[in-house]
């Protein structure tokens, strides 16, 4: 199954070892991490984070890319210095042949906690630079599948832990209309469609599950209060945190809030968790 995104471009005119295995999706053990935070104005505030399972991918029904041997994403375990060969399957569900670019990129955590695949021109530092594809472009006949082989080679110097990336299939740009406004420079908005299959890689070694946090802050607008808690994955495993907030006011009123749940947070990534209290007149 595939991960899909849309890029809009604005143009202004003037070798495998015994440790090398591919494994099916497995539920990760739940790792619980607790944070105790206080805001003096509101009384005691407690934020608790727990690790839960990740979400699955979605196929858009026209073009798709998926692993040959797994149902959603690639899950690969390798030792430093090891390599593995695998296949992705690209499907063309349309009535015409399609030629697409293909390339590998790193995975990223957005500030909102979503998983994203890096842009083609970004500097690739892990999975995106460790994957080798046989060709830069592929042509898939109408209503057909095409096998796309690749090799994933982990450097001997790679540190243990979880890494994420993906293989992208990208259509040629769809050229938009050129427009002008009040004699300004002409602008054209092109659209590039990308789909990708995620690669989750674990490099053998000691797993470190650690989540750091900054200070809990809040902002009130009218009767609505928004709480923000910055968190950082300081370990080497991908985490799937959830957080709740218990509020005890000076007049004794108590309420519990749930922070918006991020899809995941990759090692080294930082993001903000937010929770909103719609009616905060009692504070």
Q: What tokens were used for 24?
A: 């099916």
The per-residue pLDDT string of the chain (283 residues; one tens digit each, 9 = 90 and over) reads 444 433 333 322 223 333 333 333 333 333 334 343 333 333 344 444 444 434 334 456 789 999 999 989 999 999 999 999 999 999 999 999 999 999 999 999 998 899 999 999 999 999 999 999 999 999 999 999 999 999 999 999 999 999 999 999 998 877 777 777 666 667 777 778 889 999 999 999 999 999 999 999 999 888 888 999 999 999 999 999 989 888 877 666 678 889 999 999 999 999 999 999 887 655 5
User: CA–CA separation, 78 vs 130, rounded Å?
Assistant: 12
Beta bridge partners of residue 224, listed in sequence order: 221
- Asked if residue 241 lies in contact with residue 260, where contact means CB atoms within 8 angstroms, the answer is no
Note the pLDDT of residue 221. Answer: 87
Rg (CA), the chain: 23
pTM: 0.76
Domains of the chain, start order:
3-8+56-203 (2.60.40.10), 32-53+208-277 (2.60.40.1470)
Residues 6+ away with beta carbon under 8 Å from 28: 51, 53, 240
- Asked if residue 200 lies in contact with residue 121, where contact means CB atoms within 8 angstroms, the answer is no
Note the pLDDT of residue 250. Answer: 67
Nearest to 104 by CA among 59, 153, 55: 153
User: CA–CA separation, 99 vs 139, rounded Å?
Assistant: 4
Note the pLDDT of residue 5. Answer: 36
Note the pLDDT of residue 254. Answer: 76
- Asked if residue 197 lies in contact with residue 67, where contact means CB atoms within 8 angstroms, the answer is yes
| Three-class HEC string of 263-282 | CCECCCCEEEEEEEECCCCC
Q: What tokens were used for 118?
A: 């890096």
Q: What tokens were used for 137?
A: 């472009």
User: CA–CA separation, 7 vs 191, rounded Å?
Assistant: 6
User: CA–CA separation, 118 vs 154, rounded Å?
Assistant: 19
- Asked if residue 199 lies in contact with residue 148, where contact means CB atoms within 8 angstroms, the answer is no
């Amino acid at each position: 199954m595939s991960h899909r995104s849309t890029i809009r471009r604005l143009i202004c005119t003037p070798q495998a070892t015994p440790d090398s295995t591919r494994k099916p999706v497995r539920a990760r053990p739940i790792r619980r991490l607790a944070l105790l935070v206080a805001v003096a104005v509101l009384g005691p505030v407690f934020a608790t984070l727990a690790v839960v399972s990740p979400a699955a991918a979605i196929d858009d029904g026209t073009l798709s890319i998926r692993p040959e041997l797994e149902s959603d994403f690639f899950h690969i375990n390798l030792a430093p210095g090891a390599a593995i060969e695998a296949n992705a399957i690209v499907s063309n569900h349309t009535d015409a042949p399609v030629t697409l670019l293909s390339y590998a990129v790193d995975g990223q955590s957005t500030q909102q906690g979503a998983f994203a695949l890096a842009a083609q021109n970004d500097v690739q530092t892990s999975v995106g630079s460790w994957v080798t594809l046989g060709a830069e472009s592929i042509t898939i006949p109408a209503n057909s599948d095409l096998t796309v082989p690749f090799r994933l080679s982990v450097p001997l110097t790679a540190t243990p832990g979880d890494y994420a990336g993906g293989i992208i299939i990208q259509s040629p740009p769809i050229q938009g209309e050129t427009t002008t406004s009040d004699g300004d420079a002409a602008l054209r908005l092109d659209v590039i469609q990308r789909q990708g299959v995620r690669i989750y890689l674990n490099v053998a070694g000691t797993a470190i599950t650690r989540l750091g946090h900054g200070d809990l802050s809040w902002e009130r607008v009218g009767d609505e209060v928004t709480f923000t808690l910055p968190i950082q994955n300081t370990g080497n495993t991908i985490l799937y945190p959830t957080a709740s907030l218990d509020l005890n006011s000076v007049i004794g009123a108590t309420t519990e809030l749930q922070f918006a749940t991020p899809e995941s947070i990759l090692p080294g990534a930082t993001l903000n968790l937010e929770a909103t209290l719609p009616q905060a007149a009692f504070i």
